Amino acid sequence: MERDPVSARIASLLHPQARIVTAPLERVSLPPASFDAAVGNVPFADVTPYDPNAPRKLSLHTYFLWRAIRAVRPGGLVAMVTSRYTLDGDDQARELLAEDADLLGAVRLPTGAFHDQGTDVVTDVVVLRRRTAPAGDGQAPLWLAAEHQPALRTPVNRYFLAHPEQVLGRMAPTGGARYGHVLDVVLDGDRATALEAALGEAADRIVADAAQRHLTAVPRRDPTAVGDVTLTDRAGRKDGSFHLVDGAVHQVRGGRLVRTARAGAELVALVQLRDAALALLDAEADPDTTDGALAPLRARLNRRYDHYAARYGPLNRCTLVQGPRDADTGLPTWTRRRPPMGGFRDDPDYVTVLALEVYDDDTRTAAKAPIFHQRVNRRPQRPERARDAAAAVALCLDQHGRLDVPTIARLLGLTPAEVPTPTPTPATWPRWRPSSRPTSAQGRSGSSSARPGSRPRTSRRSWPRRSAARSRSATSR
| Amino acid at site 372 | F
In this structure, the answer to whether residues 143 and 29 fall within a common structural domain is yes
For the segment 145-174, what is each residue's pLDDT rounded down to a tens digit? 999 999 988 899 999 999 999 999 999 988
> Alpha-carbon distance 156 to 164, whole Å?
11
Shared domain for 396 and 462, answered yes or no, is yes
Residue 37: Cβ within 10 Å count? 14
259 forms beta bridges with 250
Residue 443 within any structural domain of the chain: yes
Which whole-number Å values give the CA distances from 139 to 102, 105, 281, 406, in the listed order?
13, 18, 52, 70
DSSP label at residue 412: H
Give the chain's length. 477
Can you say how many angstroms the Cα of residue 321 is from the centroid of all Cα atoms in its chain?
A: 29
In a domain, 2, yes or no: no
Question: Is the overall model pTM greater than 0.85, yes or no?
Answer: no
**Do 205 and 314 fall into the same domain?**
no
Determine how β-strand 72-83 pairs with β-strand 101-108.
unpaired
Please, are residues 107 and 202 in contact by the beta-carbon 8 Å criterion?
yes
What is the rounded distance in angstroms from the CA atom of residue 76 to the CA atom of residue 70?
A: 10
Q: State whether 57 and 184 are in the same domain.
A: yes
Q: CB–CB of 406/416 below 8 Å?
A: yes
In a shared domain, residues 51 and 192: yes
How many structural domains are present in the chain? 3
pLDDT of residue 445: 38
In sequence order, the 6+-apart residues with CB closer than 8 A to the CB of 367 are: 357, 358, 360
Shared-domain flag, residues 350 and 455: no
Low-confidence ranges of the chain (pLDDT < 50): 178-179, 223-226, 436-477
In a domain, 72, yes or no: yes
Is 190 found in the same domain as 132? yes
> Which amino acid belongs to residue 347?
D
Q: Which of 372, 407, 427 is the last residue of a domain?
A: 372
Contact 382/395 with Cβ under 8 angstroms? yes
Same domain, 127 and 193: yes
- Residue 103: φ, ψ to 5°: -80, 120
The range of the structural domain enclosing residue 446 comes to: 389-476
Q: What is the pLDDT of residue 449?
A: 35
Q: 74 near 102, Cβ under 8 Å?
A: no
326/332 Cα distance (integer angstroms): 6
Domain boundary among 212, 230, 264: 212
Residues facing 124 on adjacent strands:
82, 108
CB-based burial, 121-145: b 16+ in 10 Å, e otherwise: ebbbbbbbbbbeeeeeeeeeeebbb
Helix (H, G, I), strand (E, B), or coil: what is residue 177?
A: coil
Which 8-state DSSP code applies to residue 254?
T
Question: How far apart (Å, rounded) are the C-alpha atoms in residues 99 and 6?
Answer: 36
Q: 313 with 438, same domain?
A: no
Asked if residue 382 belongs to a domain, the reply is no
Domain identity same for 57 and 198: yes
246 in a domain, yes or no?
Answer: yes
Q: How far apart are CA 306 and CA 32, in angstroms?
A: 36
Give residue-wise pLDDT tens across range 66-116.
999 999 999 999 999 999 999 998 888 999 999 999 999 999 999 888 877
| Cβ proximity of 155 and 122 under 8 Å | no
Residue of 463, 474, 475 whose CA lies nearest to 392: 463
Residue-wise pLDDT tens digits, 319-373? 888 888 877 678 888 888 889 999 998 898 898 999 999 999 889 899 999 999 9
Alpha-carbon distance values, 101 to 5, 105, 282, 418 (Å): 32, 12, 39, 66
337, 372, 407 — which closes off a domain?
372
Q: What distance in Å separates the CA atoms of residue 166 and residue 218, rounded to the nearest whole number? A: 25
Closest CA to 97 of 63, 49, 137, 52: 63
Q: Judge whether 14 lies within some domain.
A: no
User: Cα separation of 279 and 276, whole Å?
Assistant: 5
Question: Is 205 within a domain?
Answer: yes
Tell me which amino acid residue 351 is.
Answer: V
Residues 247, 325, single domain; the answer is yes
- Compute CA 170 distance to the chain's CA centroid, rounded to the nearest angstrom: 30
16 located within any domain? no
Residue 100's contacts (CB-CB under 8 Å, 6 or more residues apart) are 69, 70, 130, 131
Do 305 and 358 share a domain, yes or no? yes
What pLDDT shows up at residue 432? 55
pLDDT of residue 164: 95
